A and B are shown apart, each in its own frame.
Chain A
Amino acid sequence: MMPQQIEADVILDSTSSELLETRTQAIGQQIFESSRLSLWNKNFWYTKILELATSDTLVKTQLFRFVDVLPVLKTCEQKRDHLIEYLSPPTRATTWPLSLKALVLLLRVPVLSRLIVRLADFQVSQMARNFIIGRNLEETVPKLLKSRDRNLGFTLDILGETVFSDEDSEMYLSLYKDLISGLGDQSKTWARNSLLDESALGSIPSVNISLKISALDCRMDPAGFESSLARLSERIEPLMRLAMQKNVFINFDMEQFSLRSLTRELFRRILSKNEFRSYRHFGIVVQAYQRQSREDVRDWIEFAKWRETSFSIRLVKGAYWDYEVIQASQNSWPSPVYDHKSESDLNYEICSRDLLKAYPAIELALGSHNIRSISQAIAYAEELKLPQNSFEIQMLYGMADPFKDSLVKKGYRVREYDPVGEMLPGLSYLVRRLLENSANDSFLKQSFMDGTEIRQLLKSPKGKNL
């Protein structure tokens, strides 16, 4: 392949210095050294599946497609038939793992098939449990408390099916309501944890909820911009009011590009209103893989200064890359996201510096598992002489645990993003995590599975070949 140029607007990176780079490397080294890397994952089958999946893209497709369909299958026969179909070599395959071929043979033996199906079923739900904290609140709360004892904060995310009716969105609305008021009340009895419940600007809520706007309105459509906003405001404002009463943090998650402008405008309008203007504990997401994310950052800084009360921004790279690229291609649109991961990585660093510079107007949450990205931000915060708890680090439940512990030990505030939900939506979440963890450019895969050298992992994205 021809070497490609990094996009000009990404390379425009004036604030970074050599000193910063040296410091970034040093911090990254320390985080790695104090992480116990052997703890990749205790689940044998999970590791096995990832290993198989990364060996061959066709195998990966078949395995993940099976995991994807499994939760809707009810009878043992259905499950067996699908297992046989997906584990048999497709016609396009030239080679096929022996282990899978053998499994197919065993599946054809009636006595064994029942056993294998049950095992597969059990293992897949175990795998899902690695990434989903609980099916409901009862299951979840004890785990949250245990995490708090480990000095890990949380933000809860409700997993669910797509919303098609008012009934569906009412259901989510009441779930969120229960979550805010139920947890808000319970949290008053929780032991205070000064690492988690305090930022440099003062105390922060121990209950933190991540809100998906798309779950609250089945007719949400950017074409009908104003009417969508009106309906959404009507539904979300009571939630935010409740959150203020109960001292709960509300974060607006960012989903597909098509909903970006609506989500942003909704957040901006609500936070501008007098009744919400003086509450600090609201947040929104900026996705660094978006080509427009630098504008987002600029806009939010300006807005925060106007508002005169800080709010939070969770800076992530973005989880809908494939989807965005496909949408753009099928509609003949320019892609809204960077083509290469290293461009997103570099842009992430630039955005994080701009946001740190905006402190205390904005409190930054670094949503990433990439230790290079995090170290760079930490190094820059040090350069700016910001207090250690002027920002926080957020990572997904069930991922990168060694890093979390290491960062906690170093005195940073770490928050886990905890999905709560049933098997059906849970498994599509699992498939996304599997895809992420088996991708060749995954930082975690390189760190824990491939044994890539730490120096290589910590290299600046600027110097990376595209």
Chain B
Amino acid sequence: MLNPFKNEAYLNFALADDRARMHEALDRVSKNFGKTYSLHTAREITSTSRKLMKSVNPSRPSQLIGAVETATKEDAEVALKTVYAGAHEWSRTPAATRIALLEKLADWMVEKKCELSAIMVYEVGKTWREADADTCEAIDFCRYYAREMARLSEPRTTQMIAGERDTIAYFPRGVCLVIAPWNFPLAILAGMTVASLVTGNTVIFKPAEASVVIAAKLAEGMREVGFPDSAYYFLPGVGAEIGPMLVNDKRVDMIVFTGSAEVGLSIIESAAKKPQPGQRGVKKVVAEMGGKNALIIDEDADLDEALMGAVHSAFGFQGQKCSALSRLLVHENVYDAFVKRFVDAASALKIGPADNPEFQMGPVVDEEAQIRIKKTISEAKTRLKVLYEAKDIPAEGYFVPPTIFEVENSEDPLFQKEVFGPVIAVKKIHSIEEGVKLANSVPYALTGGVFSRSPSRIEYVKREMEVGNLYINRAITGAVVERHPFGGFKLSGIGSKAGGPDYLLQFMEPRSCAENTVRRGFAAADS
């Protein structure tokens, strides 16, 4: 039925054709700026009574990318009613139909691949490769979860025993609420949303305010490939305004969240409350929260490789990935040599508008982020030694300078708190054991890694480093669907890994069934 899962191919910019495709898409998308999309099915509209949520290009804030209607509390109520009413029918739609819709959505995205990537280049400031990887990951989520559902949709025999048929089967929970971040505005949003749908839940998805246009595109795709209107509801809105009411509503059975630990924890807390009358049960929460990810450079590391991995992990998408490197722990025997080259490499990165591939770094997502990161930098300067701060930063746009600090005290906030920007704490270590201990000293446990060529030390790190995703002798970002199931523990999240074999199970209730096959001493033939 379905062919085996294969990761979507990235664009290869070494090929003139792929470069031309990207240039053409950027050009075409920029000529279509300024459209407005409706709630629910993201239709293009020309007028509305609702307030507009406008999305601008962080590389050039005067440029409007597009707008969506902003949902009010009343709209949220309509959304809840719609998907609650649709839940019964959707949950009884054959899994094969739902799977086929995911496949169609993947095909739709493949067809619009460069356009979707181009939108993200403009809307959130991703460089070409980062945007392309985001789109490919979204496609992978659709294809992978479709295949996972095919595997999970048949009841499984638990044990063969005479006279009884014993099975376990998975049933949808009901209504899911997806609250998505802007940093993987297509991949994470699509991943959480299609996981909800393919498992038979209806879904409300609220995108981040900074990335509503790419989210509207996803809703458009869902409409075009034929997901029923009552199965999904695109609901952009101000988190503070509609978030709590959605999270607390009795009709919501599951909340799927990716974002900050602060918001995540408050969702977990509200969901844990005693069910209200009419609520089906205790709400299920899957939350992926932050990281404070460390990379250890051992004394015997291949420094060329380590540098490449460190620079990529620290500064890719301006450090705005949950998986981004923010702490570099360098062995004293290579500290001076490595740190000097790391600083030199950082200073070689050119910063500018993300649509121009001449630049390796773009802006941060919005003004709020810019102000917050700059404040973190200036505060850290009062305590820490600055090893590097970029000087050549465009004046227009939400740019922040990549900055590297040397940290001695591991209790320092820069070593402990997530910054979500291109700000790196470097610390000298005297042994691999110390490195792992320091890496583990934060509240988070998302990604981490080591560059070492000692087999025993690599084994030690595998055993002792507390991270959800460990990377050895390579960059610590860039998890690929199925290959690197992604997610952390401690304050980095609850729930099992996205893009992995356990993910869909969270969206369903397992029911086991024991059926007596004996009638008057006569056992039915096994069929």
Q: Which A residues fall within an 8 A CB radius of B?
A: 65, 68-69, 72-74, 78, 81-82, 85-86, 90, 161-162, 164-168, 218-219, 221-225, 227, 257-262, 331-333
Contacts and interface: CB of A to CB of B under 8 A. Distances in A.
Contacts of B308: 162, 164
Nearest to B308: A162
Interface string B58-69: 000000000000
A458 to B, nearest CB: 36
Nearest to B341: A164
Contact of A86 (B303, B358, B360, B455): B455
A72 B337 CA distance: 12
A257 B14 contact: yes
A432 to B, nearest CB: 14
A261 B14 contact: yes
Contacts of B14: 222, 257-262
Contacts of A81: 454
A168 B348 CA distance: 10
B453 A69 contact: yes
Given A219-B350, A222-B19, A224-B357, A164 B454 contact: no
B15 interface: yes
B345 A74 contact: no
Interface of B: 6-10, 12-16, 19, 22, 128-129, 299-304, 307-308, 311, 333-334, 341, 344-345, 347-348, 350, 356-360, 453-456
Contacts of B299: 72, 78
Contacts of B359: 224
15 contacts: A68-B453, A69-B302, A72-B302, A72-B303, A82-B300, A85-B455, A162-B308, A165-B344, A165-B347, A218-B348, A219-B360, A221-B13, A223-B129, A227-B358, A332-B6
Given A164-B345, A261-B16, 11 more contacts: A65-B453, A69-B453, A82-B454, A162-B308, A165-B345, A166-B348, A218-B348, A219-B350, A227-B357, A259-B14, A331-B9
B344 A168 contact: yes
A322 to B, nearest CB: 15
Contacts of A224: 356-359
B394 to A, nearest CB: 16
B453 A261 contact: no
Contacts of B10: 331-333
Given A74-B333, A161-B304, A331-B12, A223 B19 contact: yes
A68 B303 CA distance: 12
Which of B129, B303, B357 is packed against the most chain A CB atoms within 10 Å?
B357
Contacts of A219: 348, 350, 360
B344 A223 contact: no
A162 B307 contact: yes
A263 to B, nearest CB: 10
B110 to A, nearest CB: 12
A167 B341 CA distance: 10
Contact of B128 (A68, A86, A223, A227): A223
Contacts of A257: 14
Given A164-B341, A223-B19, A85 B307 contact: no
A332 B453 contact: no
A371 B9 CA distance: 39
A164 B307 contact: yes
Contacts of A161: 303-304
A221 B16 CA distance: 13
Contact of B357 (A164, A221, A258, A331): A221
A168 B345 CA distance: 9
Contacts of A332: 6-10
B136 to A, nearest CB: 8
Contacts of B347: 165
A259 B455 CA distance: 33
B13 A82 contact: no
Contacts of B334: 72
A74 B331 CA distance: 13
Contacts of B22: 223
Nearest to A69: B453
Contacts of B9: 331-333
B455 A90 contact: yes
A215 B13 CA distance: 20
Nearest to A257: B14
B366 to A, nearest CB: 25
Contacts of A260: 14
Contacts of B8: 332
Nearest to A218: B348
Contacts of B348: 164-166, 218-219
A204 B303 CA distance: 40
Contacts of A164: 307-308, 311, 341, 344-345, 348
Contacts of A331: 9-10, 12
A315 B7 CA distance: 35
A413 B456 CA distance: 51
Contacts of B311: 164
Nearest to B136: A332
A79 to B, nearest CB: 10
A26 B238 CA distance: 82
A228 B173 CA distance: 53
A78 B300 contact: yes
Contacts of B16: 261
Contact of A167 (B301, B304, B344): B344
Contacts of B358: 224, 227
B15 A261 contact: yes
A81 B453 CA distance: 11
A291 to B, nearest CB: 13
Nearest to B455: A85
